[in-house]
Structure 1
Amino acid sequence: MNLNQVTVPSVNIPAAIAFYQRLGLKLIVEALPHYARFECPDGTSTFSVHLTDRLPDGEGTYVYFECDDLDGTVASLIASGTLFEELPNDKSWLWREARLRDQDNNIIILYYAGDNRKNPPWRVN
């Protein structure tokens, strides 16, 4: 089994397209006003947004995108006007993360984990 894609809700697909393209995702399906799908710049995973009348209550969805050069990516996004809730910092789970939200309140985490992504010291054998 392999993860194909993650889909998050949006009340404004054109705004979502602009946001995720600014993050570096490549738009591959634009079915306005209901849906958009993107390719991640690395690997084979895709990501999509679908139109909804109402967003879920609570914190929304957490979506993680791994970046080989996290600090450089964040610096570039900040220079282009992207606002972050949390700048890159080292976490106790051995990942380096930065956090922001999309226009629909989904939490987007840009991170770098290296080998610790799948093989942390506490991995179950």
Structure 2
Amino acid sequence: MRLNQVTVPCVDYEASVAFYKTLGLKQIVDSPPRYARFECPESDGGGEPATFSLHHVEGWTGCDHPVVYFECADVDATVQNLARQGIDCTSPPRDQSWQWREAYLRDPAGNLICLYHAGEIRRFPPWRIDG
């Protein structure tokens, strides 16, 4: 089994599509105002890239969970690039005790997004359960 698709709610289709394009996702389905699908720019090495979707809902005000994580090679450079394009983080990049570098932001619908870098530690932390 492999996680392939995550769908989050959106309330402003155009704003959400623009936001995720700015993050670097490639739009592959455009069905305004209800649904959009994107491909992540890279696969995790396991084949096809993951996909990510938006589905329009009425009355959504955002929430803190679940959190959508997008890994990037350089969190600080990504955050600086997004800031130049008008997207600000709610939490600047910082090193976490679990050895990831993370920055948080919200999409136009209020969904919580984490930009992070973990590298090999994502799958192989020192506390990994083997077997």
Distance 1:92 1:70 in 2: 16
TM-score calculated relative to the size of structure 2? 0.90
Gap regions ≥5 residues in structure 2: 44-48
Contact 1:83 1:100 in 2 (8 A): yes
Contact 1:60 1:105 in 2 (8 A): no
Contact 2:89 2:104 in 1 (8 A): yes
- Residue 61 of structure 1 deviates from its aligned partner by 3.2
Moved more, 48-57 or 106-115: 48-57
Contact 1:9 1:49 in 2 (8 A): yes
**Aligned residues: CA RMSD:** 1.3
Matched, 1:12 2:12: yes
Matching residue within 100, 104, 107 for 2:105: 100
Secondary structure at the residue paired with 2:99?
coil
Deviations 1:39-67 (A, max 9, x none): 10111101000011122674243100000
TM-score calculated relative to the size of structure 1? 0.94
Secondary structure at the residue paired with 1:2?
coil
Provide closer, same or farther for how the CA distance between residues 58 and 100 of structure 1 changes in structure 2, counting only shifts above 3 A: closer
The percent of aligned pairs where both chains have the same amino acid is 51
- Residue-pair matches, total: 125
Provide closer, same or farther for how the CA distance between residues 98 and 57 of structure 1 changes in structure 2, counting only shifts above 3 A: closer
